[in-house]
Amino acid sequence: MKNKKIYVTAILTLFNFVFLGTEYLFDNMMMNLVDSDGVVLVQNYILGASVLGFVLFPFINRYLKGYLEYVAGIVASIIAAVSVAVISGHSSYEIMIIIGCIFFVLLGITGSAAIYYSSVILRGSSQISSYVGIAYAAGVFLQFINNNIIKKEIAQKAVIIVLAVSLIWLIIYRKKFAEEKDNVDKYDSADGYLIKNKMLTGMLLVIMVALMSCIFVSLDNAVTLVHAQGSVDIGQLPRILLALSGLCAGFLFDIHNGRYMSMIMYCITLISTLCIVIINFGGIFIAGLVIFYISAGFFAVFFTASFMSLSYKMKNPEFWAGLGRAVNNLCAVITSAVSVKLLTSGSNMVITVVSVILFVLISIVNFIYLNQYYPQKQVESDEQTDETQEEIISPEKKFELFCECYSLTEREKEVLNALLYSDKDVQDIAESLFISRAALYRHISSINQKTNTNKRVGLIQYYYAWNPVENG
């Protein structure tokens, strides 16, 4: 199990690094071709492309088997290497967009695969959020090292390529750790809760993450605009806060099997909403940057771990496991243009009203979502009672208890078993037991005497009417 957990941490860490690192690289290269508004716009293009990858994965997972996986691995590795090289060259706006979109479709597929296979390995675990948080923190920390410690740009790009290719082949290597199961009912209540309506709960989570994304996308855009203008480099030291927040979120979310997860995220959303309002009314940017990094780490762990946990309860877990990232990225694409216009318009009152409305909607959806869950304790108690009863009255257990109750010998047990479960006549039963007919009658008579029954028919009727609970 230790190796499995290391594997989970590794593939999630690599995905987070490659996704965030390539997004950061793409934005920086695009700064050479377009203005700050243009950088935000094209960033949405690649995020939208990643959504397509997340949606495609369930189909790829179903049909891409055997040697085709290795062929796909080779092709994907070549695409990753070429894409990073082309993006680094930033020679053409159109080519940058095309290559960026292709690469982020691939990242969407690999990201969905990494999250799904991690969820398969972690089934039944009460520490899903912790592993997600550790991996997110490690991925961000690796990005920080790559951007700030490694000085040569060619070395930075090489690191992204090597780790992207490593991620691809680690996913292909998953079979040693991840055993997929079509039936996930066993894990339906692994977190201690059942849900009233699975599809409704899934849609409520999608809506809640989508609404939260609108808040965090606005914060992200505000930060990206400043970064693209060259005023602040968001890849510097404050980014460590993003890693720390993800790490803290993971451990906090796992308290009491995730009972307080949604409420913690609700409070973080409230702080982020207030931050948007404060920044637009002339607040200090560095304060907004700090809040953004803290809230973004919590949010990333929240939507990843929430959908991983939900996938155990759904019929198509490979679709639901990675849906959190897909919903977040899709909302970024849809709302970013409106968000940028509002942020650059100077309409502080409008921004405030929109932010408050979003928060109210989040509050309502969160309340309904939480009411879909109910504790498993009573259900487990009932199930255990049923299982105990089933065990007591199971045919094998009943037979053993009956023989023990009436002190039957081993030969008498054999005779009784033959009488109960065979429709043969006396002669055939005697032959099957390798005894004479007379000896068989003596054993039946002995059993009749011990059980106070009359002949074979009376013995059989008494046995099936006999209740081991009532008879101690």
Q: Are residues 285 and 199 in the same domain?
A: yes
* Domain end residue (candidates: 340, 375, 410): 375
Q: Are residues 88 and 179 in the same domain?
A: yes
Residue with tokens 């408050």: 356
Residue 287 resides in a domain: yes
Q: Are residues 231 and 125 in the same domain?
A: yes
Say which CATH number the domain at 352 has.
Answer: 1.20.1250.20
Residue 29 resides in a domain: yes
Give the Å distances, CA to CA, from 295 to 253, 326, 333, 375. Answer: 14, 18, 20, 29
Q: Which two tokens stand for residue 381?
A: 């108690």
Residue type (1 letter), 338: V
Q: Are residues 367 and 411 in the same domain?
A: no
pLDDT, tens digit, for every residue of 99-113?
A: 999 999 999 999 999
Residue 470 resides in a domain: no
Q: Does the predicted TM-score (pTM) go above 0.85?
A: no
The total of structural domains in the chain comes to: 2
Residue 74 resides in a domain: yes
Residue 471 resides in a domain: no
Residue 90 resides in a domain: yes
Give the Å distances, CA to CA, from 448 to 217, 251, 404, 444. Answer: 82, 65, 15, 6
Q: Return the higher-pLDDT residue of 345 and 363.
A: 363
Structural domain range at position 262 = 2-375
Residue 472 resides in a domain: no
Q: Are residues 370 and 386 in the same domain?
A: no
Q: Are residues 288 and 364 in the same domain?
A: yes
DSSP code of 253? H
Residue with tokens 């008879």: 471
pLDDT, tens digit, for every residue of 191-230?
A: 556 777 888 999 999 999 999 988 887 777 666 666 556 5
DSSP code of 182? S
pLDDT, tens digit, for every residue of 6-43?
A: 999 999 999 999 999 998 889 888 888 887 677 877 88
Phi, psi of 470 (to 5 degrees): -65, -25
Question: What's the pLDDT at 359?
Answer: 87
* Domain end residue (candidates: 375, 409, 435): 375
